[in-house]
Structure 1
Amino acid sequence: VGEYWSPGDLQSMLDYINATGRRMSLFDACLQANFSRASKEGENFDLTTILQGTLVEALPELAVTLVENHDTQPLQSLEQTVEPWFRAHAYAVILLREAGYPCVFYSDVYGSSYTDKGTDGFDHEVTMEPLPQLEALLNLRTDRAYGEQRDYLDHPSCIGWTRSGDDGHENSGIAVILSNGSAGTKRMEVGLHFAGSVFHDYLSHHQGKVTIGEDGWAEFYCEAGSVSVWAKA
């Protein structure tokens, strides 16, 4: 894995990959920049563009996806933070989709605190809290996020996708829906083999239940500014 940090400049990353004979994967600085911008713009960010201009979209087999790292955290050389409210959204994207090789940041698992100098020349104390939903998202990747992916990246403030599951992982298959604005709903297909099954939100953000229709489709829900991952109960 290499690091050629050029957020917003996908072509430079592709040039680097070609210059090294496609022997190296790269951290997807463009995706991380999209996460940062989405977290700061809130409902003004068009979620249908979250993957646009990224390495994971252009060359997924060589993309190492991430939400933050030691350089992008506050007061560091490449500071480009992702606001706490959007971190679960971002981790859902890198952990629960087919493409990319995800890298999880230590501070999002365990939290951290440190003191460093700001641009004003003074010392500042920074505390980064662990992400409460991360363990559940990692378990979902391990146990449930398998099979065909169907994308529903079709609304500027509410997007989703499903994974149909496979025979090698019992009860695998999920439906992911996330919003950066008001509460959202999205009709999505998980597959005929789930007909009649009851799904619940594995992250416990939405307290209802969803029953999959005989056609393998259902209406899935998420709260305002939140993410829900629906899986077989």
Structure 2
Amino acid sequence: MVQSRLLDIAISEFGAKGLEGASTRGIAAAAGTAMSSITYHYGGKEGLYLAAADRIAERMSAVMGDPLELAHEIATDDAEGARAQIHRILGRLADKMASAESADWTLFVLREQMNPGEAFERIYSGVMGQMVRKLGDLVCIATGHAKVRAARIATITLMGQVITLRANRATCLKLLERDTLEASDILDIKARIDANIDAILDSMRAEEQGQA
């Protein structure tokens, strides 16, 4: 229980202040444990940081595991099934990006995105990497596109519109003239995301058919 709380606080502190700025003494105090417990369990600050990354990877797996499992069952000629799974995966991700509980670990991941190290590799080697690769595969199936690179570029744009719900939260709130995202806002945003997904997939499918 103490270790779980320690990791949750570490994720929050490292996300807000980075590896250099966060204080292990402050993390230990907030978790109600001694500094020595960090040394004992994790070997020090860097070890705690990597353990926090592993914890984030576990959280992402718990959230995204089910839709990814279903995606593995899509046949290579099931364009409609692939499209439905793209909507399902990105819809689940949008719900998570819109929720308050994602704030701490998203900050941690964003820091690693800007300056990737071993922690990022640990996160990416889990469900994050599986998700983006699977989305690329699903885009290929949904559009009949043979070019993997084009599908992966589309995946970047598809995911970008979802991640902005957290990465650009302050801008979203300013633009919508809100202090917080209401349930109705999230529904409207998700509806637009769904429409954008279909527009991108339809455009790519038309391009592929035009070249056939």
Pairwise same-fold verdict (TM > 0.5): no
Q: Bigger relative contact order, structure 1 or 2, given CA contacts below 8 A and separation 6+? A: 2
Higher helix proportion, which one?
2
Higher strand proportion, which one?
1
Bigger CA radius of gyration: 2
Q: TM-score normalized by structure 2?
A: 0.32
